[in-house]
Amino acid sequence: MKTASDKNIPYKIYLKENEIPTEWYNVRADMKEKPAPLLNPQTLEPMTAEELSHVFCEELVKQELDNDTAYIKIPEEIVDFYKMYRPSPLVRAYCLEEKLQTPAKIYYKFEGNNTSGSHKLNSAIAQAYYAKKQGLKGVTTETGAGQWGTALSMACSYLGLDCKVYMVKVSYEQKPFRREVMRTFGASVTPSPSMETEIGKKILSEHPGTTGSLGCAISEAVEKAVSSEGYRYVLGSVLNQVLLHQSVIGLETKRALDKYDVKADIVIGCAGGGSNLGGLISPFMGEKLRGEADYRIIAVEPASCPSLTRGRYAYDYCDTGMVCPLAKMYTLGCDYIPAPNHAGGLRYHGMSSILSKLYDDKLMEAVSVTQTEVFKAAEEFARVEGILPAPESAHAIKVAMDEALRCKESGEEKNIVFGLTGTGYFDMVAYEKFHDGLMENYIPTDDELEIAWKKLPKVDR
């Protein structure tokens, strides 16, 4: 039992408003070997700024291609928006520590304190801001479970920008509440595949009755953007620019720990496309890359969609329609459709090129966990810490708890830091399945993975 005098670190470490970072940190600047460039799918040559500018707005293209600038100024307007919900608290999980009876010290960075309910708003406001600054009319995007679409619709309504969201059809039908939040913020939401785009029509004619996929919604959103005057496409994860914007998470975390002279030993985050994890670990990884400190860094992914732990490191398509640039990443193949999994934000077939490179260079670790163990951890966490976690976030909780229990066995007082990316209020159907014992754990066979890899493009890079 920890006594009051052991608790000289507050339950919540809040930074002051003027301690919100004013620069993003670009971890690529400290990587000796850079992540592989995006390739043009026709020529297989690196995408040029000019080519990318048809899809993304100019300032974001610059950020996407910038492997060298370590600190990039956050425009004042974005910092002002951040002030509505940042700095986010770094919580010392005293109650969880006590429940686990561990000598480890557990901290989590909580990104769920905004209406969109997740960290995605950190990048949504940045992307919407640059689109507005370029004088564009609006942006298009896709959303799976709906968190990204929600965040983007909030950012767009704040800036007076049109927002067109292609929402994976199965989520559109099963998650009407998310859809309505987006519409409340003025976005138009179309179930994907739709008849609004050529690729949508093609997919519908080949697979009538399909309930859609993220890869397919991406293709539709990109097509809509490049064929509509004054529109660009924005993406909520995977890209270098998104990891850059999400570095506010890590910078705040580091600053809060530094205030109390706490040195993290292990940093843990869930990994879908890699944006929250990339953002959380960036400043820690920077120190590791520069040889200033060492950290264990762990990515956690679902066993049903194990891109890092079982994927191939290769160039692949980012979308089903194969209209996007090729990215070199740990991938399960762009046709891989993960079995239904209640962590919708972790169902992408690939992984950020930055994280893929760091993982391939053995600078970080990855583990996969099954759904039922994740929900068990989510529930335990909720009962002691009082936050209902998103299923995605609960992947990190599960592994943080495992590491804390390991410390209990060894008697080590390690400092464990994990990212609690969001809240799970829109995921109660999943919690219901778990409570009723109806949740299944699906783990793909090697043969299933082999099939999806057959379609990997042939690239000698």
List contacts with ligand PLP (CB under 6 A): 118, 120, 147, 237, 270-277, 345-346, 390, 392-393, 421-422
Angle at 103 between CA 100 and CA 105, to 5 degrees: 90
Q: Are 328 and 36 in contact (CB under 8 A)?
A: yes
Q: What whole-number distance in Å separates Cα of residue 27 and Cα of residue 18?
A: 23
State in angstroms the smallest separation of the CB of 169 from ligand PLP.
19
State in angstroms the smallest separation of the CB of 271 from ligand PLP.
5
| Sequence-ordered list of residues with C-beta below 8 angstroms from that of 26, at least 6 positions apart, any chain | 63, 66, 69, 70, 71, 72, 244, 247, 282
Is the Cβ of residue 112 or residue 200 nearer to ligand PLP in the bound state? 112
Is the Cβ of residue 117 or residue 200 nearer to ligand PLP in the bound state? 117
For residue 131 the two structure tokens come to 């689109």
CA distances for 215 relative to 177, 242, 329, 355, 427, angstroms? 23, 18, 15, 20, 22
- CB count within 10 Å of CB 229 equals 6
Is the Cβ of residue 35 or residue 422 nearer to ligand PLP in the bound state? 422
Is the Cβ of residue 79 or residue 271 nearer to ligand PLP in the bound state? 271
**Which of 67, 63, 69, 27 is closest to 281 using CA atoms?**
27
Q: What whole-number distance in Å separates Cα of residue 167 and Cα of residue 161?
A: 19
Is the Cβ of residue 200 or residue 273 nearer to ligand PLP in the bound state? 273
State in angstroms the smallest separation of the CB of 111 from ligand PLP.
8
State in angstroms the smallest separation of the CB of 237 from ligand PLP.
3
| Sequence-ordered list of residues with C-beta below 8 angstroms from that of 64, at least 6 positions apart, any chain | 38, 52, 56, 239, 240, 241
Instruction: Please give the single-letter amino acid code of residue 297.
Output: I
Q: What whole-number distance in Å separates Cα of residue 298 and Cα of residue 356?
A: 13
State in angstroms the smallest separation of the CB of 9 from ligand PLP.
26
State in angstroms the smallest separation of the CB of 337 from ligand PLP.
18
**20 phi and psi angles, rounded to 5 deg:** -60, 135
State in angstroms the smallest separation of the CB of 345 from ligand PLP.
3
Is the Cβ of residue 192 or residue 276 nearer to ligand PLP in the bound state? 276
Cα pseudo-dihedral 328, 330, 336, 338, rounded to 10: -140
Interior/surface letters 379-406, b for 16+ CB within 10 angstroms, e for the rest: bbbbeebebbbbbbbbbbbbbbbbbbee
Q: What whole-number distance in Å separates Cα of residue 297 and Cα of residue 399?
A: 11
Is the Cβ of residue 102 or residue 122 nearer to ligand PLP in the bound state? 122
For residue 292 the two structure tokens come to 């200033």
Residue 385 falls in which region: left (phi positive, over 0), alpha (psi -120 to 50) or beta: alpha
Is the Cβ of residue 37 or residue 273 nearer to ligand PLP in the bound state? 273
Side-chain half-sphere CA neighbours of 344 within 13 A: 26
Cα pseudo-dihedral 448, 449, 454, 460, rounded to 10: -170
State in angstroms the smallest separation of the CB of 225 from ligand PLP.
20
Q: What whole-number distance in Å separates Cα of residue 219 and Cα of residue 328?
A: 18
Angle at 21 between CA 151 and CA 294, to 5 degrees: 105
State in angstroms the smallest separation of the CB of 202 from ligand PLP.
27
Is the Cβ of residue 104 or residue 397 nearer to ligand PLP in the bound state? 397
Is the Cβ of residue 197 or residue 423 nearer to ligand PLP in the bound state? 423
Q: What whole-number distance in Å separates Cα of residue 228 and Cα of residue 234?
A: 14
Is the Cβ of residue 377 or residue 407 nearer to ligand PLP in the bound state? 377
Is the Cβ of residue 37 or residue 146 nearer to ligand PLP in the bound state? 146
State in angstroms the smallest separation of the CB of 357 from ligand PLP.
16
